[in-house]
Structures are given as structure tokens and as C-alpha cells.
Structure 1
Amino acid sequence: MSKSLRRKTTALLAAIFLSAALWLLLPGGVGSAHSSLMDAAPAPDGRLAVAPSAIVLQFNERLEDKGFAIQVYDREGLPVAKREAAMDADRRSMRLPLPPLSDGSYTVAYRLLSADGHPVRASYVFTVGQTTEPIRGYVSASRLHEEHVLGDNIPYWVVRGLYFAGLLAAAGWVGLRVYAAAVAERIGRRYGLTRQLLIGFHLLALLLLAWQDYGKLSIGFDDSERLDLLFGTSIGLSYVIAIPVAAAGFWLTGRRRAADGLWIMLLFGAKGLNGHAMGYAAPSLTYALDMLHLVAACLWAGVLLAFAVAGPRRLTDGEGADAARLSHTAFVAIVILAVSGLATAALYTNGFDRLLDSQWGRLMLAKTGAVVLIVVAGAFVRRSLRSGKLRRGSAWLIFDGGLFAAVIGITAVFTYLNPLAATGPLFWHEKVDGAHIAAIITPNKAGTTNQFLVAIGGLKQVSSTGNKEASAEGDDGPRKVTLRLQPIDRPEIAPIDVPLAKVPTEGGPGSLYDYNYATEGSYLALPGKWRLEVRVQDKKLNEIVTVTSFYSDNETER
């Protein structure tokens, strides 16, 4: 094998390895969509001595002022509220006034659209009257804002990846005529054909993504409300603008450079209406950063495509100024990408607070690592370019393209996830050795009384013949169930054992959980990060352990 071929093979394998390594971050993880429920009054699974006067739901991001609703149902399934829910001026909370309620269990059902385009539909249960037997709703912060198991949503991530790739490729290629017209003229007919193909690819991916998103958004809405979704929400306007603009690219682009630039900015302007930028407290700031980030990504994509389609040799004919200019443009684009991306991430995460505690944050770090490698690859590309040894199949060009694909893959997923670590009511579920264990803490507020519930299901022993026997614990359930809390921020404080008592299994997914153990008290005395450990011991002294971490904030931090 020649030295050149070895270099190309090594770079290609490195790019494939990096892409695979980054993709392995996705399956199995849980990422929450927006907006996240930060506080609910009454709390999910809460027990109240006095009936509440209203339902108040608070979220971590701005909400759309269209398509939201709250309803409360009694134990017979009849609605109890006669008025409609209203949204507060900050667009982060919803309120539904309630008439006087008698003792009993009530179900709260709500729906909303976060300002970044994500639909939320959820429900939970609360109980009025201390003597009323509660109904366990098995609710959680994650479930209340549409829990996403990333490995189960791969088809959707693929569609989003195709959309981002098509958007940047089409805009980047059209953009060549704006800042490097000589390159487009040198390629000639090949430039025009590639432009049409990339615009068509982008339009097809956009339509596919719009169809999937609209299917999610329109569930539960009648025809008149669907018009509000299209013309009265950020995500609706995004598609209303983006689709005709993308289609107009076939005729609008390739004629005048000003029209090319306008087409690109209209596409990016529409994209900015559908994403995290619109959910931030100051959307004009994050929207501007999003536009800057997209423009930089467009420049990088255009340079990569120029080297791939035209080839370095054609770009370096004559004085070679085109290739040098494109290389410099790509370097500037990467710098802008890094700066704008970090600035935006700092805003979304309150100064990178709890960055590693969310799937979004971990993917953000993976993307940052890929950008570092891109800078390294770019340095070698520029060195090869100066020495006149850069070719279309250059190992470093292949590596750079592989990194671009990896970044697109990460972007497709983490732009749909919540940048903030989940707070509010906690639900932790894990399947261990065939058993389902869930731990619920609600309302999960430090310094106040919380309800604690551990639910257990599937504790069956498998006999030597392969048949499931009766519960190894008998009818009385496990021998011992322990819930232990440890304040991670205060290691000098010993773990706190939360005393649990067996309670009847009422409602919820009875086929999943067989036993409930609950208590209430002020065991979360301090705000901050906590370690939760559940130990389940059966009659044969076999022990199952599950561990997770979570945040408990006090009232002033919410």
C-alpha cells in the first residue's frame, strides 16, 4: 500500500471512528424536549389538606400563546373548571382558576407549545383531603415534558440530520457566488447542476421534516386551531416561510449575487424561528447569535463543497488565489462558529451551569471536541495547499468532511433537547435484572415537605426450566426497600435514609409496578445536587441497587 493511500485510509477510518463514537453517545440516553416543567401547584402526586384555588404550571422557557390548555377532571372523569387557562405576561407559566373542590382525587391534563417549537402534552394526579385514598399517577419532570429515549427516535434524528445537511449544503453552495464568484464561474456548468441538485435535496428534506413536525403539533387540535398553529406560532411561521422560499431557490438563485444572498438570509431567518433561540428570555439576542452561527456554518460547508466538486487542482490553477481565499474563509468560519456557539450555550445554560447533567450538555462537549479536531485538520489542509500537494482525495480533506458529517449528526439531535438539567418533580426509572424500579419525589423542593415513592415491579424468579415462578418475595413483597439520599455538594453530611411504608398499589401502570412504598417529610433540607440510591432486597436476600443524581432547588431559585 502506498504512503498516500495509507494516509487517506487512516484519515477516512479516523473520521468514521469519530462519527461512530459520537453516535454512540445517543442510544439509550434520555433527553427532554421543551419546555420543562419547573414547578406545579398543586404538585404531581401531591396530597393537600385544603383544596387549591388554581392550577399553576411554571416552565423553564417561553411558551407559545397559542394552542395551550389546562383541564381538571374529577374521579368520574368530569371536568371541574368552568374557565379557560390563561398565560402570564412572561409566557413562562399558565394558570387555571378552580371552583371549590371537594375531597377526592383529581387529574390535571394540559397541553402547550414551547416557543422553540416543541409540543408538550401531559397529565398528573393530586389528592384533596388527608383521609382520601390517593391515586398514584407515576408522574415526573421528564415525563411531564415529553420524555425522549434517544435510541428510540433514530428515524426522526436521521430526518433532522438530512435537513441540516441540505440546508447548509444548499446555502453554502449558493453562497459561493456571493463571496467567491470566480470559483462559481470557473466551474461553469457543473456549478449550476450542483446548485439545482442541492436545492432539491434541501427542499425534500424540509418537506419531510415539516410533515413529521406538523403531525406532532396537530394532535388534538381541530381544523381552526391548526390554522393558528401555522400562522400564530414561531414553528408554524418557520415552515410557512421556509418551504416557498426553498422552492423559489430553483429560479431565484444563480442569477444575481444580491438575490443569492437574500435567498440564504430568508432561509436562515425562517430556521431561526424554529429552535432554542425563540425560547430564551431575550429571543432577539439568541436569534441574532443563531443567524451568525448559521452563516458561519454555511461558509464552511461551501468551502468543503468547492474543494470536493471542483477539486484543489482546478482551484489552484494560475495564481492559486481562489484556493487560498477559500481556505482562509473556512478558518474564519470555524472561529465564528466556535465563538457564537459558546456564547449561545452560555446563555442557554446560565453560564454552563450543570452542563454535564444534561444530554444536551454532553453532546455540546462532543461537538466542541469535533471543532478542535476541525481546526487541526484545517491546519494540515492549509499546509498541503501552500506546498502544492493538496488533491481532491487528500486524507485531511476527507477527514474534514467526516468531521462535518459528525457535527451535523450531533446538531440534529442536541438542537431538539433541553439545554438545562431537569428540575421540578423527579421520576427515576430503571430496569435492573428484569425488575422495574421507579423513584418519585414531588414537588422536589428543598426545605419543604416532599412526597417520596418507590415503585417496584417484575420481581419474578426464573426457574431452571425457564418458566417464571411466583414472586420470590411472596404476597408481602420485597423483604426490604431502602431509599437513601446523599447531598453531593456537601460530602461532610452523611447519607440520609428515608423511611418508607408499604402503601396500596392504586392506578398507574399496574402491569409494570406491583408494590409501592411511600412517605413524606423534609428530607431534602438543602438545595443542590443529590445522589439517590434505591436498594431492593428479596426474601432470598438477593439485592438490586439503582442509583441516579438529581437537583433540588428551593422556592427562590425557581
Structure 2
Amino acid sequence: MFGGFLLSFWYAPDLYAHAGLKETSPENGEVVKRAPEKVSLRFNEPIERNLSQIQLYDWNGRQIHLPNNREGGRSQQLNQGLPYLKTGTYTVVWNVVSLDGHPVEGSYSFSVRKEVGGEVDVPEKEAGMADGLLVVARYLVEGMLLLGAGLYGMAWLAEKRGLPGFAYILGRARWVGGGLLLLGTLVEAVAYSATLTNVNLFELWLDGKWSLLFQFPFVLMLFTQLVLILLLILPGMTRAWYLFLWMVLASAPAIGGHVWGMESPLTATLLRVIHLLAIAAWLGSLTYLVLVLLWKRRTGGEADLSRIRAFFVPTALISALTVLASGVWMVGFQSDWTQVLASRQAWAVLLFIKFLLTGVMLFLALVQTLRWKREGRSPAGRWLQVEWAAGLIALLAGVWMSQSVYPVPMESYHAALETEQTKAVVKIPQLGLGNQTMKIRLPEKEKPKRVRVDLAMKEHGMKIPPVLAEPMGGTGHYQAKVPFSMVGKWQFTIIAEYPGGKEKHWSAEIFIPGGGE
């Protein structure tokens, strides 16, 4: 079981291993003389045609009904029959599922006989009820997992010192919690399936397409979580069994988030595991103290809180500092602090709410600890509950962040590439998804007839049609609009064509980061 969990870190698919659109018929921007009978899309890898969808809009943004005559099965070619199209410009919107199980979408336009208007801006999918349900379900399940893991570990330390243990404090509530975790995991799966465009996870399961199903990182996380919960509720196992399962369960959410859109997914995952375990230890220690105080008040039982302080304070302090340090490190690793500080995205706002609440918790912890040590009295239950509630709200902010797009670190690229004893200076102001401007300065000894830029993702065998560079400014200066349509490693090649058939090539490889959900 432990080996399988570790393998999920290495074998979960990269977010950028998507199907790429290589060519279309009619072509993007083409004006055809007669109405086409079908549109054809060819991808760099086979796609599931049964899970694909093509929609057509006219120049006024009205959707055109398409006949249901597409073929099923897996193929690199996707064809869609068309009704008779009048003169005008049409926008094709497509959604497919690539071999790695990720939904990919895009759009392009063509015109019949003549261009009328232009390409229609297709509205992006807005967050709906399913997105909200997913955030709530993730919060409840992951919150219970983190609190449960931290509480179990804290209660284990306490029980060794003759204090109330996990089973004694919670009683039958443990079994209720186990049932809620199973139910919550199923709700997560339903909500996640509802957020996907044109993909139903349960149909994939019933159709036996499990290899495709388990390529979704979030589904892999849910499956791991479900298996671990079932193992956790087995009765009569040794203490080490439950302690280990709680730790792995608390770490499981690390593989279902943003990590697969980063250049080093393994490092990003390990950072999240440290962060999650530290949160579990901090909130779990607070939960244990709150429950002990409530237990004393309810039963009048005796518990020497001075003995709790001996291991509670170091545990809470170390875990709190680890949460803060790993959180700062994670932000710097996946984004850029200058981008975050200037961003108004929901992710950045939630991040600062999380930091603010963490500061409140640290302040209350310091005041309570000094009072506890100086006066010998137990922490005030009211302020302890405020600190605990602040932690739960901060946890909600963290789960919400994992469902939100984060500010992509827009690094610039500036390099002098050498070939045949000559240099070409290349600048890209922002390395990010979308159309970016590449500025090129070539040697001034010879003036090329044409300069073009070739883009490719070698790992996936995908190439983008050549982009012509336009002259600008002074001699030897060019610029090109290069489309980075996917997250991952791109190779660009600048090709200068000179009179007499001579060519010079300059190449480099860059990484385009992703901040998707």
C-alpha cells in the first residue's frame, strides 16, 4: 500500500501532457469557396471520439445545430458533419479528452465564400453549483483528515503520559467520522465529475475505461483516499497501523492539486506533504486541547494540564513555524511574490487571508502560552476556541486556493544564441501561456530574405505551424507573435533564410508554467 502511494507521485500524469491540435479542415482563417460538408481536426495523439464535442457558432454568436453523425472509438482524426452553411464566418469550438485523461479545448474560425464579421468570442465556462459543492466537499473531507491525523498523533503522545486517548475522548464519534469520510469522498467524485466539460467519470467507470479514468490526478487522489479510509476503519489493528494511515491520509491531498503544472512536480508534492503534515499537527494539537477542556467540563474528570503543556507547546510551536515556512516556500516555488503582491486574483486574496489568520493564531498562541506558564492556569477556553476557529477558516482558504488559478510566474527570457560564429539575441518579456512577443536581433552583416520561428514540444511530438517574424526598428531587429498553447517544455528555433538558399538556425528550450486548477 505504501509503495503504491509513493508510485502515485511519480506516475501521475503531467498536466501538460495534453493532446495538441495539429491541423484543421477548413484551416483557421481560411475562406472556402463552397460550404464544407464537414469539419476535421487532427491531433498529435489519438483522442477518445466518444468523449469529444464540437460546437459551431455563426458570426452573430448563434449556435448552429449539428447532426449526430460522428464516429466513435479512438483516433487522431475527429470529423463532424455539417448542415448547409450560408455565406459568413463561423467559429468552431472543440472539447476532447487526451490519452492522459485531461480535457482539452480550443476554438478557431473559417469563412464560407467571404468573411462576415469575424471570430466570435466564446464565453468561458463560469463557476457553477458543482464548483461550489466541490470546494465544500473538499473542505469537509480534507479538514476531517487533517484534524483526525493531528488529533490521533497528539492523543497518542498524551496517552503515553496517562492522559485521555483518542478512543476515550471521541467514543462512538469515530465511527460516525469514518462514515462521513467515505460519504464525503463519493460526493467529491460526483462534484468533480460535474465540473468537467463533456466528461462523466462514472460513465468511464461503467464502460471499463479505467486506464483513462485513473490518469486524472484528482481521481487518483480520491481513489488513494478511499482505499486508505477503508483500511483505516478496520478494527483491531496495531497502533502503528492507524498512526501510519492517518499520516498518509493527511498527505494524500498533495497529489490532487496544482503540482502537475509545475516544472518539478515531485519537489512541489514534497513541499505540500510537509505543509499538510504541519497543519495537521498544529490543528490536531489545538483540537486535542479543546476536547480535553470540554471533556473535563462535561464529566468532571481529572487531567493534569501541566503534563499536557510539556509536549503540547513544543509540538504546536514547531508545527506552526513549519506551516509558515513551508507556505512561504511553496508560494515562491510555484509563483512569483512580485506577481502575487500585484495580483487581484482570488488565489492571491485567499493567500493573504490565510497569512492574516495564521498571524492571529500565532499571536493568540503566544499570549495563551505565556499566561499558561506564568499563572499555571489552563488556557482560556474561549480564546482557545477562537484560535481553533481561525485555523479552520485558514484551512478553508487553503482548500479554496487549490481550486483557484494562481498567478503564473511570468519570467522573462533573454539570451544570446550562437551558431556558425554568429549570435542572435532573443528576448521574450513574459514566459506564460498565450500569444507572447519574441524580439530577435540578428547579425547585421547579411540581411535575410525571411525570418521564421518554429515551435515544438518534442516530448509529445507536437509542432506549431511556422511563425513569420516581422522586421521592426533598426537593421536586424525582428519580432514574432509566438503562441504558447500548453504548459510544459517548448523548443523554439529561429531560422534565417538568406539569398542563395543559405540558412542559419538558432535553438533553445524554455519552460512555460501553468497556474490552472
Which bracket does the TM-score occupy, shorter chain normalised? 0.5 to 0.7
Higher RCO (CA < 8 A, seq sep 6+): 1
Code of the aligned partner of 1:300? W
Code of the aligned partner of 1:159? A
TM-score normalised according to structure 1 size: 0.55
1:256 aligns with 2:238: yes
Cα deviation for residue 231 of structure 1 reads 3.1
What is the match of residue 409 of structure 1? 396
- CA distance 1:557–1:281, change in 2 (3 Å): closer
Measured in 1, the distance between the counterparts of 2:48 and 2:265 equals 18
1:163 aligns with 2:155: no
What is the match of residue 329 of structure 2? 343
- CA distance 1:225–1:186, change in 2 (3 Å): closer
Measured in 2, the distance between the counterparts of 1:361 and 1:175 equals 32
Cα deviation for residue 180 of structure 1 reads 4.2
* Deviating more after overlay: 334-343 vs 209-218: 209-218
Cα deviation for residue 379 of structure 1 reads 0.3
Superimposed CA distance per residue, residues 522-542 of structure 1 (whole angstroms, 9 cap, x where no aligned partner): 9xx999xxxxxxxxxxxxxxx
The counterpart of 2:346, out of the listed 341, 347, 359, is 359
The counterpart of 1:282, out of the listed 229, 242, 264, is 264
Code of the aligned partner of 2:186? L
- CA distance 1:388–1:112, change in 2 (3 Å): farther
On the 8 A contact 1:171/1:298 being kept in 2, the answer is yes
- CA distance 1:233–1:159, change in 2 (3 Å): closer
1:325 aligns with 2:311: yes
What is the match of residue 110 of structure 1? 95
What is the match of residue 363 of structure 2? 376
On the 8 A contact 2:48/2:73 being kept in 1, the answer is no
What is the match of residue 383 of structure 2? 396
On the 8 A contact 1:268/1:294 being kept in 2, the answer is yes
1:306 aligns with 2:288: yes
Cα deviation for residue 112 of structure 1 reads 4.2
The counterpart of 2:154, out of the listed 153, 176, 185, is 176
The counterpart of 2:217, out of the listed 224, 227, 234, is 234
Measured in 2, the distance between the counterparts of 1:390 and 1:277 equals 44
Kindly tell me the number of residue pairs found equivalent between the two proteins: 379
1:295 aligns with 2:277: yes
Code of the aligned partner of 2:207? S
Q: Sequence identity, in percent?
A: 15
Residue 256 of structure 2 aligns to a residue in which SS?
A: coil
Residue 111 of structure 1 aligns to a residue in which SS?
A: strand
Residue 127 of structure 2 aligns to a residue in which SS?
A: strand
Cα deviation for residue 168 of structure 1 reads 1.3
* Superposed counterparts of 1:8-23, under 5 Å: none
Code of the aligned partner of 1:107? V
Superimposed CA distance per residue, residues 20-55 of structure 1 (whole angstroms, 9 cap, x where no aligned partner): xxxxxxxxxxxxxx99x9x99899xx9725899977
What is the match of residue 181 of structure 2? 202
Cα deviation for residue 317 of structure 1 reads 5.1
On the 8 A contact 1:170/1:195 being kept in 2, the answer is no
- CA distance 1:345–1:387, change in 2 (3 Å): same
CA RMSD of aligned residues (A): 5.0
Code of the aligned partner of 1:337? V
What is the match of residue 476 of structure 2? none
Cα deviation for residue 226 of structure 1 reads 4.8
Superimposed CA distance per residue, residues 352-386 of structure 1 (whole angstroms, 9 cap, x where no aligned partner): 53552421111111111111111111101211221
Code of the aligned partner of 2:93? V
Cα deviation for residue 97 of structure 1 reads 9.1
